[in-house]
Amino acid sequence: MRNRFDEQLALLNTELIKMGALCEEVISLAASALTESNMDLARNIAPLDREIDEKERSIESICLRLLLQQQPVARDLRQISAALKMVTDMERIGDQAEDIAEIITFLNGRARMEHIQIREMAKATSKMVTDSVEAYVRQDMNLADAVVASDDVVDNYFNLVKQSLIGLIARNPEEGEYALDLLMIAKYFERIGDHATNIAEWVQFSILGYHKENGRQEHKET
């Protein structure tokens, strides 16, 4: 019975890795579509978002089978419940990448230095997503901690972009609508960083048995 359970846990990990890879791909596509002013890349994001939605449903089904058909101990329960929470954040990452793609279609192919800054921000958020899923699969507390710390890096990028756009509006008030579109894109990437942080915090919970930021430990069984 335990062997079957372990096989299902391995399948869960595999599916999470695949979903994480899809999230990484949509983030990369969104960043490339922006910096290259490429509408074809932007249009490729919606189908990938639908794949992410399908992965969410598949992973939820695996988790429910593990809970209903097996007899997980406390550590297993934490891992499964963490996976259920993680896929919700990963699904939102896909949604926000699609929101970014929609805004890109309104930019009319314009390219500015702020696009490069946002691309660097996107790279940082993509790494956070990849590392948070890897931390779950490896049950790696140090990697999860690093992801949480990286949220400050993404926030700093957002502040740089925001200040740059404020300067643009001050110099050229007629650029106000364009600057707001770019600010919304940067905000979506910042939110993606927040979702990656949430994933990493659920990894911490799956390992520790409590939420690290709360500073309290619940009873743990093994």
Q: Does residue 55 contact residue 19 with C-beta atoms inside 8 Å?
A: yes
Q: Does residue 1 contact residue 73 with C-beta atoms inside 8 Å?
A: no
pLDDT (0 to 100) of residue 214: 56
Lookup result for tokens 């949480």 = 148
pLDDT (0 to 100) of residue 216: 41
What would you report as the CA-atom Rg of the chain, rounded to the nearest whole angstrom? 19
Whether pTM > 0.75 for this model: the answer is: yes
pLDDT (0 to 100) of residue 1: 60
pLDDT (0 to 100) of residue 84: 94
Lookup result for tokens 């696009």 = 115
Tell me the pLDDT tens digit for each residue of 10-28.
999 999 999 999 999 999 9
In angstroms, rounded to a whole number, what is the distance separating the alpha carbons of residues 80 and 6? Answer: 12
pLDDT (0 to 100) of residue 217: 45
Look at phi and psi of residue 25 and say left if phi exceeds 0, alpha if psi is from -120 to 50, else beta.
alpha
pLDDT (0 to 100) of residue 88: 96
Asked whether residue 81 carries a pLDDT value surpassing 50, the answer given is yes
Return the structure tokens found at 30.
């969104």
Asked whether residue 68 carries a pLDDT value surpassing 70, the answer given is yes
pLDDT (0 to 100) of residue 110: 67
Return the structure tokens found at 185.
């894109």
Percent of the chain with pLDDT over 70: 92
Return the structure tokens found at 78.
């934490």
Average pLDDT rounded to a whole number, residues 74-98: 93
pLDDT (0 to 100) of residue 36: 85
In angstroms, rounded to a whole number, what is the distance separating the alpha carbons of residues 187 and 193? Answer: 10
> Could you tell me how far CA 100 lies from the centroid of its own chain?
14
User: What is the pLDDT confidence band of residue 192, given thresholds at 50, 70 and 90?
Assistant: very high
Q: Kindly list the structural domains of the chain, giving each domain's residue range(s) and its CATH number in brackets, ordered by start.
A: 2-214 (1.20.58.220)
User: What is the pLDDT confidence band of residue 220, given thresholds at 50, 70 and 90?
Assistant: very low
> Could you tell me how far CA 204 lies from the centroid of its own chain?
16
Higher pLDDT, 69 or 151: 151
pLDDT (0 to 100) of residue 219: 38
